[in-house]
Amino acid sequence: MKLQEIMVGQVVQASPEETIGEAARCMREKAVGCLVVTVEGQIKGIITDRDLLGCAGQRHDPRQCQVSAHMSRPVVVLKPEEDDRIAAEVMRKKRIKRLPIAKNGKLLGIVTLSDLAAVAVSELARLEAAVQYVFSLTSVQQAGPAKVRVAPQSDGPQAAHRQKRELLHDQSGSQTMGTNKAATL
């Protein structure tokens, strides 16, 4: 899925001159965990809730300390046409949870680890439905007129191969596939 399809377009921003106290207040009011620091729409940094704690941990005065002193830079930025798998890999390698999305240097949105998790859950549900449909077709063809029960597995795509083997090698003649495990892939 393209990042432009999953990004949040309303990005809460801050200027480098804002104080840490103002940034903290903004994060609390908007219920966000980061602010993208911009100057005239150009990304200059990112400040997270952890950065705010770093300021306090250094015993800085949040009413005097500027965002620019604690923001992270350079910022890893992706283009809106990039794939969600690229974003997941970048987050994993860089050990970050938020990626601003920009084109020609202009901020367009942001994608978080939570956004990618939601996409993954959706894709997994579609895959699970497709696998169960294929097994139902395969089971009916192999079993003929006998009834076939398909019990969902919780251990992922490998379960599909195991279920097929169990059906083909079932010595009891019961034509039952799988076990009674919970339905999650």
pLDDT averaged over 10-residue windows placed end to end, the chain, 185 residues: 94 96 96 94 93 90 94 95 96 95 93 93 86 80 56 52 49 41 35
The Cα 49–Cα 12 span in angstroms is 13
Taking the alpha carbons at both ends of the chain, their separation in whole angstroms is 20
Position 155 scores a pLDDT of 54
Position 5 scores a pLDDT of 95
- Sequence ranges of the domains in the chain: 3-117, 124-177
Contact 11, 110 (CB under 8 A): yes
* Type of residue at 167: L
Q: Of 138, 11, 4, give the one whose Cα is nearest residue 84.
A: 4
What backbone phi and psi angles, to 5 degrees, belong to 28? -65, -45
Q: Of 124, 127, 132, give the one whose Cα is nearest residue 150.
A: 132
Position 166 scores a pLDDT of 53
Q: Mapping DSSP to helix (H, G, I), strand (E, B) and coil, where does residue 112 land?
A: strand
CATH number corresponding to 3-117: 3.10.580.10
C-alpha distances in Å from residue 72, one per residue of 7, 43, 51, 55: 21, 11, 8, 13
C-alpha distances in Å from residue 175, one per residue of 22, 23, 48, 170, 182: 66, 63, 56, 7, 20
The Cα 52–Cα 57 span in angstroms is 9
Contact 13, 22 (CB under 8 A): no
Position 134 scores a pLDDT of 85
Position 184 scores a pLDDT of 34
pTM of the model: 0.66
